Structure 1
Amino acid sequence: MEIGSHGLTHTDLTRADDATLTAEVAESRARIEELTGAPAEGFCYPYGTVDARAVEAVRKAGYAYACAIDPGPLTGPHALPRAHVGQNDTAWRLHLKLRLHRLRRRPVEGV
């Protein structure tokens, strides 16, 4: 099991100013590491939104990888695509999401 970061206060990083962006990713990592005594390697962008600024901030904060619901044209270990899974997802919905996810996503480059 891994404990990763989802930001300090679940702020949309694509709308955050530079100081907030840095605090959201760096401080959340520091707090997780302090609480668990283990490195926080992964980051999941709040609301699944990401842009180049957020990717750079997450990379600079030292995360090994990060996931977004739709990274758009971004690719690489700090812009990995993920599928949202919610409490109302049934086995059938998860099956459909898996199939659609494969159709919508292109191969990840730079990993």
Structure 2
Amino acid sequence: MHTIADIKAHFAAGAETVTLTKAEWDAVCDVVRAYCATGKERSAAVREAERVKRVARPVWRACAQVSERMRRALSRAPLAVRADLVADWEMRLRHAMTVDWQDLPPGHPGRWSRAR
């Protein structure tokens, strides 16, 4: 196996390429394989990214509303917050994460296929 120092010295001497043995090539491939994704994994990641984009704005709005309401409630009575207020805050945050097909952007293909 070549060490990094050997390879650097090889290039410093003016070489343009490095020749690897089969074992060295297989070792490189083993490392690369750990970072490769299948088509199914990639599409799942894309779907999750789209879901996060759809959810992000309503969740941030809900967080801002809930934090403001919590601040007001705690400023009035710091040791006695009613249970119904806490339940309302929790419901607002949970419902902000639920996204319907109508929440898709106007040009998204999934919006029109379900709207008909």
Q: TM-score, normalised by structure 2?
A: 0.22
User: Which TM-score applies when normalising by structure 1?
Assistant: 0.23
Q: Whose strand proportion is higher, 1 or 2?
A: 1
| Higher helix proportion | 2
**Between Structure 1 and Structure 2, whose CA radius of gyration is higher?**
2
